[in-house]
Amino acid sequence: MSKTKGKRCKGFSWFLWGKALAFFSNFGASHREKAVELTRFEEKELENLFVLLLMGSFTGIPSPPSFIAAELLPHLEHEIKVLNARAKASSDAMAEIIGLLDID
């Protein structure tokens, strides 16, 4: 009887250990995901800033000599997509930041 009880106890503690492990690993993964999300947001903002600086003459920002933009233009497909996406979301930028920081 006590042997069975002991076995059950052992099984239960393994079960608890497993749950705790899963909890902590999910906890870690969720934090990692959050960190990646924030870093991606920062990266996109920097890409947006980079291309905005280069092509500032479109928006009235003092810009570098236009030939720098002309030379880099062929390699800026991704950044221009980001610039477009940011421009579209610019009316609701606050909501995006609030969502990113999990503020209800």
Return the amino acid letter for 15.
F
Residues contacting residue 53 through CB under 8 Å, at least 6 positions apart:
61, 63, 64
By three-state DSSP, how is residue 99 classified? helix
Q: Which stretch binds other proteins (CB under 8 A): 9-17, 20-28, 31-39, 91-99?
A: 31-39
> Between the CA of residue 101 and those of 34, 51, 96, what are the distances in Å?
9, 26, 9
Closer residue to other proteins, CB minimum distance, 75 or 88: 75
What is the C-alpha separation between 65 and 67, in angstroms, rounded?
6
Report if residue 60 touches other proteins, rule: CB under 8 A. no
What is the C-alpha separation between 8 and 1, in angstroms, rounded?
11
- Binding to other proteins by CB under 8 A, coded x per residue (else -) over 66-85, reads xxx-xxxxxxxxxx------
Q: Which stretch binds other proteins (CB under 8 A): 9-17, 18-26, 37-45, 92-100?
A: 37-45
Among 39, 58, 95, 96, binds other proteins (CB under 8 A): 39
Binding positions for other proteins, rule: CB under 8 A: 32, 35-36, 39-40, 42-43, 46-47, 49-50, 53-54, 64-68, 70-79
